[in-house]
Structure 1
C-alpha cells in the first residue's frame, strides 16, 4: 500500500498517525472539516480534502478524488458513519476503524478480542451524543466492521483504552503532570494501586498502520501499553521525568469528603481495573514504546505547551482541605 486517507488527522491520534505514515513513505491525504488548525498545512507531502465525515456525498467525493489504498477512520462516533464508510471505501485495500476499549460490555481482567462481550446498542443509543452511550456506539461500530468484512470488505477495528502523549487535547495526563510539577504533596485517590490501562499515542498510530498492512478482515485488535503501571507508579514516572520529589498522600472516600471530592473525579482513576490483552496485536509485529520514553516525551510536550489540565479533576483548594484533615489524624 502506498496511499492513505486519514479521516480526521489534525488533533491527536490522527496527527500522530499522519507522522507515522509519512515515516513509512505513504502518500497521505487528510479529510477534515477544516475547523481545527492543520499542523501539516505547510507540508507538501500531505494533501487536504475539506468535508464533513457525516456527509456521505462528501466522503464519496473524497473516495473518487483520492482513491486511497488504505483508509483510517479516526472520528467515527456513530454506527451509521462506519456503515457508510465501509460501503464507500469497500474497494480499498484496507479500512481501519478507531474503536475503543470502552466497547467491552463486561468487566474482565484482561478483556480479550472475540471473548469479552461487547456492549449492546439500541437505536436510541446509536444516535445519541452523550458520554454515557460512547461504549455502546463504539461497539456497534465494531459490528458494522464485522458485517462489512462478511461482505468482502477488508475492514478492521483497533481498540485503545485511555490514550496519552504529545498534543493530547483531553489534558487528563496534563492534570497529573501539573500537580507533580507545582506541588510537593500530591493527593492520590485510594491506596494508589488503581489500575487503568493506558496507551501512548505513537503506539496507537503504529498499530493502526500495522493492522492496515497485516491485519485480518473482520478482526478487532486491542492496543495498550505492554507494561501496565498503577496510578501511583504513573505519578512516580512523572516525578522522575521532572527530576523532582513529591510526597504521595493517599486519601479514601472518607478523607476526600472533607473537600467534597469523589474518587472518580480524579483523571485516569477507575474503581475496577480496566486491562486489555494486547497479545493479538503483538502477533502482527507491533511493539510498544518503553514507558519511561513515552512519559518523558509526554512531560516534555506538557512543559512546552500551555496545557495544565485545569478543566479536569478536583481543585487544589479542595485538596488542601483534605490535606489539612490528614495532618490532624
Structure 2
C-alpha cells in the first residue's frame, strides 16, 4: 500500500505542484480545500478531493478522520491558529510540513539562516490580522507553533520559501517581467539593476516539501531558494534568453522615476535591502535546485499559453515609454 499525502490547498500554485510531486513519487494524494477554484485534478482518479474550510476546525478534524494521512503538507495556513489546529489533528501523522515564508525573518541578515536569524515578533492583534503588513509575523508565529508541536512529540517541520515563480503563478509578479521582456525591446529596470531578492522555482518548493516530509527532523525549519540568486538586472537577461529575444534594460533611479510619478517600489520583485536565504540545511537532506535555464523555459512556455500578463503589478507601458523617452532625451 502506498503512503497517503494530504495536501491542504492543492489546486492553484504551490499546492498544485506539490500534488504532482507526491503523485510522481508514488503517493496516494488527497486535497482539502473549499472548492472555490478550478481543480486541475478533477479528472484524475489518483487524486481524491475533500471539500472543507481549513480555517474551520470541524472541517479539519473531519478530514483527519476521513483520510488518516501519513503526510500532511499545509500550503494555506495563514494564521497561527491554523497551524495549532492542524498539528493537533494530525499529531499521529508521520510528517506535518508547514509552508512558511522567508518573510518570517525579523532581521535583515545576508544570508538569512534558519538557526541564527531571529524571526519576526507577532502580537495577538497581528496573529488574527489579514493584512500584508502582518504576513511575516503571522508566518513566524506559525513556525513557533510547529516548534511547540515538535516539543509535544509531533513530527512537525517548516519550509520557508521567498517569492515563488513558475507555471500557474496566480500572483503574476513574475509574469510582469516575462511580459515586458517577451514583448518589448526596451524595459525599465528600477535602480541600477543590482537589487537582490532571492526567488525560488515552484517545482523546487514542491520537491523541498517532499524532501522535508521524508528526511527532515522534527521541529526544524528549512529555507528553500534558487541555487543562484540573480539580481533584477540578471533576471531580465535570463528571461531574454528564455524568450529567445534581445532586450535593453533602461535603468532608472528614484529621481528619474519621479519625473513620471514612479518609484522603485512600484516594480514587482524590487527590494531594498537584499533578501537572501541560505539553503545549505535543505541541501544537507539531498535536495538540489533546478538550473535556471530549465526552470525559466517551463515558466515562459506556460506563461505564453496562459492569459496572465502581470501588467497590473507594475507601471503601465505608456508611463514606462514616457520615462524611456525622457531618459533618452537626457542622454
TM > 0.5 fold call:
yes
Structure 1 segment 244-255 matched on structure 2, within 5 A: 244-255=245-256
Q: 1:38 aligns to what?
A: 39
Q: Please report the RMSD computed on the Cα atoms of aligned residues, expressed in angstroms.
A: 0.7
- SS of the counterpart of 1:65? helix
Per-residue deviation, residues 28-49 of structure 1 (Å, max 9, x unmatched): 0000100000000000000001
- SS of the counterpart of 1:153? coil
Q: Is the Cα contact below 8 Å between 1:109 and 1:273 reproduced in 2?
A: yes
Per-residue deviation, residues 81-137 of structure 1 (Å, max 9, x unmatched): 000000000011000000000000000000000100000000000000000000000
Farther-moved stretch of structure 1 (318-327 vs 277-286): 318-327
- SS of the counterpart of 2:31? strand
- SS of the counterpart of 1:18? helix
Q: 1:258 aligns to what?
A: 259
Q: 2:141 aligns to what?
A: 140
Q: 1:233 aligns to what?
A: 234
Q: Is the Cα contact below 8 Å between 1:95 and 1:212 reproduced in 2?
A: yes
Q: 1:319 aligns to what?
A: 320
Deviation at 1:220, TM superposition (A): 0.2
Farther-moved stretch of structure 1 (311-320 vs 220-229): 311-320
Q: 1:77 aligns to what?
A: 78
Q: Quick one: distance in 1 between partners of 2:43 and 2:325?
A: 52
Q: Is the Cα contact below 8 Å between 1:9 and 1:17 reproduced in 2?
A: yes
Q: Quick one: distance in 2 between partners of 1:125 and 1:131?
A: 10
Q: 1:127 aligns to what?
A: 128
- Residue segments in structure 1 that go unaligned for 5+ positions in a row: none
Deviation at 1:319, TM superposition (A): 1.2
Q: 1:89 aligns to what?
A: 90
Structure 1 segment 116-195 matched on structure 2, within 5 A: 116-195=117-196
Q: Is the Cα contact below 8 Å between 1:258 and 1:321 reproduced in 2?
A: no
Q: Quick one: distance in 1 between partners of 2:202 and 2:219?
A: 24
Per-residue deviation, residues 236-288 of structure 1 (Å, max 9, x unmatched): 11111111111111100011011111101111110111000000000000000
- SS of the counterpart of 1:91? coil
- SS of the counterpart of 1:40? coil
Q: Quick one: distance in 2 between partners of 1:305 and 1:193?
A: 30
Q: Quick one: distance in 1 between partners of 2:234 and 2:317?
A: 21
Q: 2:268 aligns to what?
A: 267
Residues matched between the structures, number: 329
Per-residue deviation, residues 30-88 of structure 1 (Å, max 9, x unmatched): 00100000000000000001100011111111101100000000000000000000000
Query: Under a length normalisation based on structure 1, what TM-score does the superposition of the two structures give?
Result: 0.99
Per-residue deviation, residues 162-221 of structure 1 (Å, max 9, x unmatched): 000000000011101111111111111010011110000000000000100000000000
Q: Is the Cα contact below 8 Å between 1:185 and 1:247 reproduced in 2?
A: yes
Q: Is the Cα contact below 8 Å between 1:194 and 1:273 reproduced in 2?
A: yes
Structure 1 segment 5-44 matched on structure 2, within 5 A: 5-44=6-45
Q: Quick one: distance in 2 between partners of 1:11 and 1:109?
A: 31
Q: 1:298 aligns to what?
A: 299
Q: Quick one: distance in 1 between partners of 2:188 and 2:11?
A: 34
